[in-house]
A and B are shown apart, each in its own frame.
Chain A
Amino acid sequence: MENTINIGIDLGTTNSAIAKFVKGDVIVFNNPLDYGRSTLPSVVYYKKDRIVVGNKAKEYLERDPKNVVGLFKRKMGTSESFQIKSINESKTPVDLSAQVIKELKTFVNTGDSLESVVITIPASFDVIQSNATKEAGKQSGFKQVVLLQEPIAASLAYANMKKSKELTDGNWLVYDLGGGTFDVALVRIKDGEMKVIDHEGDNFLGGSDFDRLIVERLIIPKISEEYTFEDLETQMKSASGKYNAKYYSLLNQAEEAKIRLSAVSSAEIIVERMEDEEGNEVDMEIVITKSEFNELIKESIDGTIEMIKTILTRNSLTSNDVQFNLMVGGSTFIPFVRQRVEEVLQIPVNCEIDPTTAVCIGAAYYAATKQRDISANQSENKQNQLTIKASYNKASKEADELFAARIKGLTDGFFYKIVRQDGGFDSGLKNLTERINEDLPLVENTYNFFTLTIYDGENNVIETDIEPIGINSGFGISGQPLPEDICLEVDDYDNPGQTRLFLIFERNSVLPTKRSLTFSINKQILKGSESDRLWINVYEGPQTSLPEANKPIGVIEITGKQVSRDIAKGSDLEITIMISESKDVTVSGYLNMSDQDFKEVFNPKERNTNVTLLKGQVFDLSTKLDVEIELATEKEDYETAGALSKTKKDMEDIEVEVENLSDDDVTDKRYQLEDKKRKVAQAIDSATKNKRLQQATNNYYETKAECEELIDESGNDHERKTFNDIGSQEAAFMATKSPLKIQEKSDEFHGIIGQIRWRTPDFLKALFARLVDDQSKMNDQSQAKSLIDAGNFALESQNWDRLKEINFGLLDLLPKGSKDEITTKIGFGL
């Protein structure tokens, strides 16, 4: 067990966070219930049967003030308590803070035993307030709580980031402007000791005030100017006002505009879906410029500057005595805040640390220097094995499903929580009793998994025997799984003249199912032409097989006779395939250019075999068989050659029979022939599968080696990571024995190779030389000449970026010859 504390908590007025020091670095834990965020709003919501902490509680803060408490940190160390209506109890700031800390404990996913912690406090906290914070830490289950002042924590985060540079003796400021509060502290370091010398603050100033200003001072006046409203501001801000909902919608847009304005010079806010008092539909796009926004917040920022001036005066310091001003808190992302503070005070601002997590990162660094003070016998073993017997419907078409469970073992003082694994539902922390019931909301048409976790009074997880709760919702219930892959036949651009299968639905997908795909047509279809045609061929069978070896379940032929206008090469064909619960397959093709739909339903009991297609396939298969026999013989692979030759006789019979079949034959002959053809194809497939797999595998390792060499020479971190990622999946995709899957990975390596080459001077030079040789083939000779001149200049001056652009330009001038040579058997492909 490590003997330093390592865990740090920023217990903030508006937001809190938790971090851990691990091997020289600090990780900030993510909020498991609020994807992408590592902070937890310091707000607690008590409902009759549950406690909710964080974002959801914050949403209810204004509307249900009798049950939701926020900003309680301001009352730390006072005798004030909050009367909670729903549970008819009063809670102290210590209780509420403990609740936040307990919630933060659930962020820690590293399995650490949480017994010691560093918690940060504002510089302004006195002894009573500090002790109250310590008490909150203890109440939440920590046995050892060490306190650290927030400005010191931020400074430590900075000092640790600048590992190479020791902080020199002197003064600096920590300027902390968060979502709802502002603090500034003067920090001094002397002989290695860091100390807060002075501080000031405003508990009612932060980013959310700026959002409000945007709505009230910019948006509402602009709407009122254009439309007829009587006192729109009151109508919006009053809870009973007609436009109260709109106010929140605008606040939301204002926040987004504020964030955008940090990067761009103007942001739009769209006001719509509301009517003015004369019944006119409001439809406005209000542009807010950076300068308008800056003007709006100037007064508030100047107020913070005044506080700093007060601190400086009080400590007989001038701006020159302060090394820098360390910016902390989300609102310091606003460029104007940084500029204004620097400009007026003439103290350089320092924005090198992440302002939202700096305090908890600093706390974790500090924690790494503090010894744990817990003797082994102090940590009680709270393991209490509970047995849970759950009962619920495993399949449901309802919007929610009742979950019931019976708990065996001691339940007193324990809590439970149920969360949906997609991150969309959290029951909140509820009291554990012998029997529990919970309505679980379901997402339609998917498997819903829930986890039930039991916690003790300090939010430590208690071991149980319950498995994840899985409920299938929607169409999957009566649906049967697909017995085989369903694929579409497409032209194989890597092997001209051949086709391959494109996976539409994987084996075991639950019916019914539907998928739409778009392909570019690779040949033109002239109106009226009988020979110009596209095939939409749907097959059942393994995707890894040759198309001919699988069972055709539906085919649509689109010829020039059917189209209402000429269809150009390169235009789109949209294919939709639907399979019903009873396995009826509906295939439809939509030609974008002619706005025509071609649709057919194929019943699995009625075979559908197109004679023209069959003839073509038989011919191709026969050619393929000959080629394969020849190849195998050449390679002295007599085993394969022998196996293939055996099928040669069958193939010849089929060829004769197919030749005699008329296009409108009404007998079963076509189906029999189709079956025979498929058997031959399967025989070829199994005889040559090893060869294809071998080819794909060899190609893969060759490409991999080439890629590795290039990465070692001139790859970047990102490319190395992508390379390693593919490598780490190697065992898995090699095990599929699918040439296609292996080929796909080789293609990914090719992608990396391409990326690296395009920045390698040798490659750029060689490509340029080749393009110069091809000048005569280029479409626009004068442009080609000027590009080549510029290229020669770039070569001389070794301007590789420029040479890269020129190469692109020259490539564009080459006729698209290679694409013209692709196979067009099916009419579209990959």
Chain B
Amino acid sequence: MLEHNFKKLKPYFEIIDQLFEIERKLKNISEPNSISRNLNKMKDIFENLLSSSTSAEEGLLYHDPMGEGYNETRLDLEASIAGSSSENLFIKEVIKPIIRYKKGGSTLIARKGVVVVESKI
């Protein structure tokens, strides 16, 4: 199913994790230097990482699953379950975002997100 060799992209995943951290920290501060422009620029670079001048968009993008629901069918995440119940789980903390490989209209999970989930009740 997943034929791509994502192992060699690992250094990029590490940089993307840092971008995600920066974006998360930026949400809590207001700053006059439009850092978010540079951040978006970097996200764009990753979204076009594997594109060439004669092919469609091909690259990596990340998704922050914070607050989303969780159950055992979600293979895009590696979860640790906190608390005492395992029903009605939602994502309480995101340690690493989900990284997807995108080419044209389709995507593949390139690196699973790492999260801590907890019951809503």
Contacts and interface: CB of A to CB of B under 8 A. Distances in A.
B93 to A, nearest CB: 6
Interface string B67-86: 00000111110111111111
A49 to B, nearest CB: 12
Given A36-B6, A741-B54, A251 B74 contact: no
5 nearest A-B residue pairs (beta carbon): A248-B80, A424-B76, A245-B82, A239-B84, A63-B86
Interface stretch (A54-62, A321-329, A610-618, A769-777): A54-62
B105 A510 contact: yes
Given A59-B78, A245-B92, A422-B106, A744 B114 contact: no
A531 to B, nearest CB: 28
Interface in A196-232: none
Contacts of A247: 82
Given A240-B84, A248-B81, A574-B41, 16 more contacts: A35-B112, A36-B6, A56-B73, A56-B75, A251-B80, A252-B116, A419-B75, A420-B75, A422-B106, A422-B109, A425-B76, A443-B107, A449-B106, A476-B105, A509-B104, A595-B34
A798 interface: no
B44 interface: yes
Nearest to B56: A506
Interface stretch (A515-523, A624-632, A656-664): A515-523
B2 A249 contact: no
A581 B28 CA distance: 34
A543 interface: yes
Contact of B106 (A36, A239, A447): A447
A649 interface: no
A696 to B, nearest CB: 12
Contacts of B73: 56, 425-428, 441
A516 B44 contact: yes
Contacts, number: 146
B41 A59 contact: no
Interface string A735-761: 000101100100000000000000000
B53 interface: yes
B56 A503 contact: yes
B29 interface: no
A63 B84 CA distance: 6
A681 interface: no
A170 interface: no
B72 A59 contact: yes
A32 B81 CA distance: 23
Contacts of B37: 590
Interface in B6-48: 6-7, 34, 37, 40-41, 44-45, 48
Given A426-B73, A426-B75, A249 B52 contact: no
A425 B1 CA distance: 12
B75 A33 contact: yes
A422 B4 CA distance: 11
Given A36-B7, A245-B92, A447-B106, A515 B48 contact: yes
Interface of A: 32-36, 45, 47, 52, 55-57, 59-60, 62-64, 239-240, 244-249, 251-253, 273, 419-428, 441, 443, 446-447, 449, 476, 502-503, 505-506, 509-510, 515-518, 543, 574, 590, 595, 738, 740-741, 744, 830
Contact of B95 (A36, A253, A510, A574): A253
B63 to A, nearest CB: 9
A744 B80 contact: no
Nearest to A33: B75
A420 B75 CA distance: 9
B113 to A, nearest CB: 10
B108 interface: yes
> Which of A35, A64, A273, A517 has the most chain B CB atoms closer than 10 A to its own CB?
A35
Contacts of B116: 245-246, 248-249, 252
A510 B57 CA distance: 13
Contacts of A426: 73, 75
A248 B107 CA distance: 29
A419 B108 CA distance: 13
A193 B72 CA distance: 46
B72 A503 contact: no
Contact of B81 (A60, A506, A740): A60
Nearest to A490: B53
Contacts of A36: 6-7
A249 B95 contact: yes
A252 B80 contact: yes
Contacts of A64: 86
A587 B86 CA distance: 49
Given A251-B80, A502-B53, A423 B41 contact: no
> Which of A34, A64, A248, A428 has the most chain B CB atoms closer than 10 A to its own CB?
A248
B52 to A, nearest CB: 6
A421 B55 contact: no
Contacts of B40: 516
Contact of A63 (B75, B85, B92, B102): B85
A490 to B, nearest CB: 8
A744 B75 contact: no
A424 B104 contact: no
B84 A503 contact: no
A692 to B, nearest CB: 14
Contacts of B2: 32, 35, 423
Contacts of B106: 422, 446-447, 449
A830 B7 CA distance: 29
Contacts of B110: 35
15 contacts: A35-B112, A47-B72, A60-B81, A422-B100, A424-B76, A443-B107, A447-B105, A502-B53, A505-B56, A506-B104, A516-B41, A516-B48, A517-B44, A518-B41, A744-B54
Contacts of A422: 76, 100, 106-109
A747 B61 CA distance: 27
B81 to A, nearest CB: 4
Contacts of A447: 105-106
B19 to A, nearest CB: 15
A52 B1 contact: no
Nearest to B79: A59
